[in-house]
Chain A
């Protein structure tokens, strides 16, 4: 794996590092400044929850599945509920479908804002990190008023939703969307015109159209390379069958492209939420579903903020599932990361990894390779600072950029 050459350095990073707050291990082999090999280790978050799901009822499993990931919890619970509803043959009320979409798009907003903040933090643009996370609070307030909790909102139940929207919440949502739209215009402006940011992000972490196909990448990573892959459009589910959704793509196929895609997707989410609020049908919130789910198997797919999320459920006619399998979007995107890192500079490693928006708890499972050549200890914080200093020497300094 590593060259036995005195010029090459291999250093391990992780599993504790201050940047991503999730445990993972990276072994990067360097020749001078260039990365020639990267081994990515995930798996620290493997809890073995699928086995536990096989000994609990479906409704108990819903709460476990929701906590596969705290950032895309609604996407996971939606896919799970959709799968069971398909097995039991029930159609949930229209109002419930619309509420599911509203919460899903709010989740996409908060996830993309979170990502934007973290990505800017990686490149040294801490001002933007603080702005985006401050704006994110508005979205979390709405989610708290809809679901009762800022994270793991628990809106879904099998057969519909548990919480309703009323006039005052709807008015709050529309007001917040107006405020956020202004902020997003600013982010779009920065992303498309600010030369410092563009020169920092362009050409980094390239994954071309062909490579996306080869590595099976999903979500914004694929859309940044021009691949029109969005489950909300290619296989619409729930209320998405009635809502106009535009796939946001870019042709840059690099970290810059992923940034642009996520920013414009936030605008698209705002449009979808407005459509849903203005066209929210009346009616009940849930439909009764049988406790015992008929035998069968189902593959359900939703578009989580990070990409295609697949849930496979096999039932045996009882109220306890036979097999539950969650394939989160980050699992599909990991394979391309090695390709993205190799050939790049050490200074770009933090932002390249962050650009796929990795969710380790979704991936849930890393590999570690120990190298025989010399090991230089550098933790993630030091590596992030290294990247910021390296670019400062080239004249790209985002720390001076203020609103």
Chain B
């Protein structure tokens, strides 16, 4: 399927995607931030009906008040469909897509460690990639986490963030 056909198919099935999905260039379809429920419907449709069989990656981004999760999917023609899920930092709960994409498990674990996302349905397993003994509640890839306030010897975060939390 060509990129235009894919976009048309998605917009027909999900009217909320109109004006929120665009062709950035050849083989790159990107969406604007979707709510959790919207995202879950779209990704299942992309997997089941549109042939996006491979999830190459999920990139976590800090968008200020929200966390953005960009799932990069590809099909047999190597077209990339980048679906962006957006969840608030105060309640960053998402549903794992590992039932559809086995290879995404490690990347979802990374979101848990580095961004503090709570992934429901993620299979049991050790955390990744931060070392054992990393302080709980400390998410290094969030913008407010400042490495200058991290004490590597004691593995504690002593920054303004902590002072705010202890108030």
In the complex, are there CB atoms of A and B closer than 8 Å?
A: yes
Given contacts A43-B129, A51-B140, A325-B59, 7 further A-B contacts (CB under 8 A): A51-B141, A86-B25, A213-B53, A215-B103, A216-B101, A299-B72, A312-B57
Cβ of A366 and Cβ of B128 under 8 Å apart? yes
Q: Which residues of A contact B77 (CB under 8 A)?
A: 234
Q: Which residues of B contact A229 (CB under 8 A)?
A: 78
Cβ of B106 and Cβ of A331 under 8 Å apart? yes
**Least Cβ–Cβ distance between B100 and chain A, in angstroms:** 10
A334 at the interface (CB under 8 A from B): yes
Interface residues of A in 292-337 (CB under 8 A from B): 297-299, 301, 308, 310, 312, 314, 322-323, 325, 327, 331-332, 334-335
Check A367/B127 contact, CB under 8 A, given A299-B72, A332-B103: yes
Chain B 51-91, CB-CB to A under 8 Å as 1, else 0, gives 00111110101100000001010000110101000000000
Cβ of B72 and Cβ of A310 under 8 Å apart? yes
Interface residues of A in 31-51 (CB under 8 A from B): 41-43, 46, 48, 50-51
Check A334/B106 contact, CB under 8 A, given A216-B55, A234-B77, A310-B72: yes
Q: Which residues of A contact B57 (CB under 8 A)?
A: 310, 312, 325, 327, 331
Interface residues of B in 24-58 (CB under 8 A from A): 24-28, 30, 53-57
A369 at the interface (CB under 8 A from B): yes
Interface residues of A in 351-366 (CB under 8 A from B): 364-366
Interface residues of A in 151-205 (CB under 8 A from B): none
Q: Which of A51, A298, A334, A365 contacts B129 (CB 8 A)?
A: A365
| Chain B residue, CB-CB nearest to A333 | B103
Q: How far is the CA of A1 from the CA of B107 in the complex (A)?
A: 21
Q: Which of A46, A216, A299 contacts B82 (CB 8 A)?
A: A299
Q: How far is the CA of A297 from the CA of B24 in the complex (A)?
A: 10
Cβ of B80 and Cβ of A299 under 8 Å apart? yes
B102 at the interface (CB under 8 A from A): yes
A144 at the interface (CB under 8 A from B): no
Query: Chain B interface (Cβ within 8 Å of chain A)?
Result: 24-28, 30, 53-57, 59, 61-62, 70, 72, 77-78, 80, 82, 101-103, 105-107, 109-110, 125-131, 140-141, 147
A235 at the interface (CB under 8 A from B): yes
Q: Which of B54, B72, B107, B125 contacts A367 (CB 8 A)?
A: B125
In order of increasing CB-CB distance, the 9 nearest A-B pairs are A365-B129, A216-B103, A367-B126, A43-B129, A46-B129, A234-B78, A327-B57, A216-B54, A335-B103
Cβ of A332 and Cβ of B56 under 8 Å apart? yes
A214 at the interface (CB under 8 A from B): yes
**Least Cβ–Cβ distance between B152 and chain A, in angstroms:** 11
Q: Which residues of B contact A297 (CB under 8 A)?
A: 30
**Least Cβ–Cβ distance between B119 and chain A, in angstroms:** 15
A368 at the interface (CB under 8 A from B): yes
Cβ of B28 and Cβ of A335 under 8 Å apart? no
Q: Which residues of B contact A368 (CB under 8 A)?
A: 126
Q: Which residues of B contact A216 (CB under 8 A)?
A: 54-56, 101-103
Cβ of B53 and Cβ of A308 under 8 Å apart? no
| Chain A residue, CB-CB nearest to B140 | A51
Q: Which residues of A contact B70 (CB under 8 A)?
A: 312
| Chain B residue, CB-CB nearest to A227 | B76
Chain A interface secondary structure, helix, strand, loop or mixed?
A: mixed
Q: How far is the CA of A366 from the CA of B70 in the complex (A)?
A: 23
Q: Identify which of A213, A235, A298, A364 gathers the most chain B CB atoms within 10 Å of its CB.
A: A235
Query: What range describes how many residues of A lie at the interface?
Result: 35 or more
Q: Which residues of A contact B131 (CB under 8 A)?
A: 43, 46
Enumerate 29 A-B pairs (CB-CB under 8 Å) in ascending A order. Answer: A42-B129, A46-B129, A48-B147, A215-B102, A215-B103, A229-B78, A234-B78, A235-B26, A235-B27, A297-B30, A298-B24, A299-B72, A299-B82, A301-B80, A308-B56, A312-B57, A323-B59, A323-B62, A325-B57, A325-B59, A331-B57, A334-B106, A335-B103, A335-B105, A364-B129, A366-B129, A367-B127, A367-B128, A369-B126
Q: Identify which of B24, B61, B103, B110 gathers the most chain A CB atoms within 10 Å of its CB.
A: B103
Cβ of B102 and Cβ of A214 under 8 Å apart? yes
Q: Which of B28, B55, B61, B140 contacts A299 (CB 8 A)?
A: B28
Q: How far is the CA of A9 from the CA of B103 in the complex (A)?
A: 27
Q: Which residues of B contact A335 (CB under 8 A)?
A: 102-103, 105-106
Q: How far is the CA of A325 from the CA of B68 in the complex (A)?
A: 13
Q: Which residues of B contact A213 (CB under 8 A)?
A: 53-54
Q: How far is the CA of A52 from the CA of B146 in the complex (A)?
A: 10
| Chain B residue, CB-CB nearest to A40 | B106
Q: How far is the CA of A94 from the CA of B77 in the complex (A)?
A: 27
Cβ of B78 and Cβ of A235 under 8 Å apart? yes
Chain A 40-81, CB-CB to B under 8 Å as 1, else 0, gives 011100101011100000000000000000000000000000
Q: Which residues of B contact A48 (CB under 8 A)?
A: 140, 147
Q: How far is the CA of A308 from the CA of B55 in the complex (A)?
A: 13
Q: How far is the CA of A325 from the CA of B56 in the complex (A)?
A: 13
